[in-house]
């Protein structure tokens, strides 16, 4: 009997339902929640038919990777079709896995006994690329992102065009620019190829300065709202209505002392700070480091005035500013 443990807090990022008997029972594993930890036990995983109630990219990737060394054939129904799922399948197949159907709703994995280390080229991150494109829009500047697949950015670029930003695409690059105040738009997050949930918070930052009222509806991760009170501290006008953020655009944001609550919230606050009047200080930048390589260096190369300083050198929050 093999046993492994994962803290409940860490597991929640994957979605607790991934750890239910519905998923793992078919594989011959038992998952229990024991005093705040998920405990898994198995004598060996066996192939099974798995159905996802929602095509989660994270769930699809974890199940697909696990199935590579399960005995027999595993079929994942209603799997996510995000580009990252396809790349992971290519990576695993490069190591000797047998995965078919990645990028479609049905993924078939034939288990193998072992994998072998081999070189693999990691493609560009479409979410990092999207963030830099939004930086060009919010600052009324111009940003060109090279080495990407424009077709994987179609949802984001469509919304940028709708807002009035200028978007030019090449074979492997996209240029985003703006010389005026953007127009308010409505955004609804959806599984790929819909608007990515990871771009919801950075896009909300952009829309705080748009002309009119925008509505951003989050249909995937309802808890992605940590950016809202922080943007409001900068002068934004955002109110929450269920899963939606109703954003009344303002003409200016003001620098403030801010705290990132998660990865994309940190990116959103960074974009808002670039466009705000005065200086902003953003704490918890370790969240940003999870998803962006050399974030401040990349922004500096685009003309931003940004630097990383020790936490001890940042302004101390006034008593009235302490977060609950």
Asked if 2-110 and 126-321 have one fold, the answer is yes
Task: Specify whether the CB–CB gap between 220 and 202 falls below 8 A.
Answer: no
**Among 42-51, 126-135, 233-242, 276-285, the least confident range:** 42-51
Residues 6+ apart with CB under 8 A from 154: 193
**Please, which pLDDT band fits residue 6 given cuts at 50, 70 and 90?**
low
The share of the chain scoring above pLDDT 90, in percent, equals 78
pLDDT at position 5: 54
Residue 12 predicted with pLDDT over 60:
no
Mean pLDDT on 164-177: 98
pLDDT at position 15: 53
| Domain 2-110 belongs in CATH node 3.10.20.30 | no
pLDDT at position 312: 80
**Among 5-14, 118-127, 137-146, the least confident range:** 5-14
The residue among 322 and 74 whose pLDDT is bigger is: 74
Cβ-based burial of 121 (10 A; exposed 0-12, middle 13-18, buried ≥19): exposed
The share of the chain scoring above pLDDT 70, in percent, equals 90
Length of the chain: 324
pLDDT at position 11: 41
pLDDT at position 9: 42
**Please, which pLDDT band fits residue 13 given cuts at 50, 70 and 90?**
very low
Sequence-ordered alpha helix ranges (H) in the chain: 8-12, 21-24, 57-67, 83-94, 126-138, 154-163, 200-207, 227-233, 263-275, 286-289, 295-301
**Please, which pLDDT band fits residue 158 given cuts at 50, 70 and 90?**
very high
**Residue 183 has which token pair?**
């127009």
pTM of the model: 0.88
Residue 291 predicted with pLDDT over 70:
yes
**Fold for the domain defined by 126-321:** UDP-n-acetylglucosamine1-carboxyvinyl-transferase; Chain (3.65.10)
User: Distance between CA atoms of 270 and 282, rounded to whole angstroms?
Assistant: 8
- The string of DSSP letters for 218-244 reads -SS-TT--THHHHHHHTT-EEEEETTE
Task: Specify whether the CB–CB gap between 266 and 288 falls below 8 A.
Answer: yes
- Each residue's pLDDT tens digit, 247-268: 999 999 999 999 999 999 999 9
- Each residue's pLDDT tens digit, 308-322: 998 787 776 554 454
CB pairs under 8 A, 24+ apart, for 111-115?
111/45, 111/47, 111/67, 111/68, 111/69, 111/70, 111/71, 111/72, 111/73, 111/74, 112/68, 112/69, 113/69, 114/69, 115/68, 115/69
pLDDT at position 20: 54
- Each residue's pLDDT tens digit, 14-71: 455 455 556 677 788 887 777 767 777 888 889 999 988 889 898 899 999 999 999 9
**Please, which pLDDT band fits residue 87 given cuts at 50, 70 and 90?**
very high
- Each residue's pLDDT tens digit, 208-232: 999 999 999 999 988 899 999 999 9
Mean pLDDT on 95-103: 98
Residue 323 predicted with pLDDT over 70:
no
Enumerate the domain spans of the chain: 2-110, 126-321
Closest by CA to 258, choosing from 236, 291, 242, is 236
Mean pLDDT on 223-242: 96
């Amino acid at each position: 009997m093999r046993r492994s443990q994962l803290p409940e807090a860490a597991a929640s990022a994957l979605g607790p339902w991934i750890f239910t008997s519905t998923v793992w029972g078919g594989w011959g594993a038992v998952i229990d929640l024991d005093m705040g930890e998920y405990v898994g036990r198995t004598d060996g995983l066996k192939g099974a038919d798995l159905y996802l109630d929602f095509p989660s990219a994270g769930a699809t990737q974890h199940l697909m990777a696990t199935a590579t060394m399960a005995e027999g054939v595993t079929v994942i129904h209603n799997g996510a079709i995000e580009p990252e799922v396809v790349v992971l399948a290519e990576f695993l197949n490069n190591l000797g896995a047998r995965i078919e159907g990645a990028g479609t709703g049905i993924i078939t994995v034939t288990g193998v006994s072992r994998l072998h280390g081999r070189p693999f080229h990691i493609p560009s991150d479409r979410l990092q690329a999207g963030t830099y494109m939004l930086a060009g829009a919010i600052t009324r500047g111009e940003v060109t992102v090279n080495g990407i697949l424009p077709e994987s950015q179609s949802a984001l670029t469509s919304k940028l065009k709708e807002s009035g930003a200028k978007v030019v695409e090449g074979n492997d690059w996209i240029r985003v620019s703006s010389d005026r105040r953007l127009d308010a738009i409505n955004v609804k997050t959806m599984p790929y190829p819909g608007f990515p949930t990871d771009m919801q918070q950075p896009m909300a930052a952009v829309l705080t300065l748009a002309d009119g009222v925008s509505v951003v509806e989050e249909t995937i991760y309802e808890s992605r709202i940590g950016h809202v009170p922080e943007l409001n501290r900068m002068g934004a006008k955002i109110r929450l209505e269920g899963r939606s953020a109703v954003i009344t655009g303002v003409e200016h944001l003001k620098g403030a002392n801010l705290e990132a609550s998660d990865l994309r919230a940190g990116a959103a606050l960074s974009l808002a700070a670039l466009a705000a009047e005065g200086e902003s200080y953003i704490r918890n930048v370790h969240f940003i480091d999870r998803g962006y390589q050399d974030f401040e260096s990349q922004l500096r190369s685009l003309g931003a005035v940004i630097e990383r300083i020790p936490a001890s050198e940042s302004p101390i929050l006034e008593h009235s500013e302490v977060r609950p």
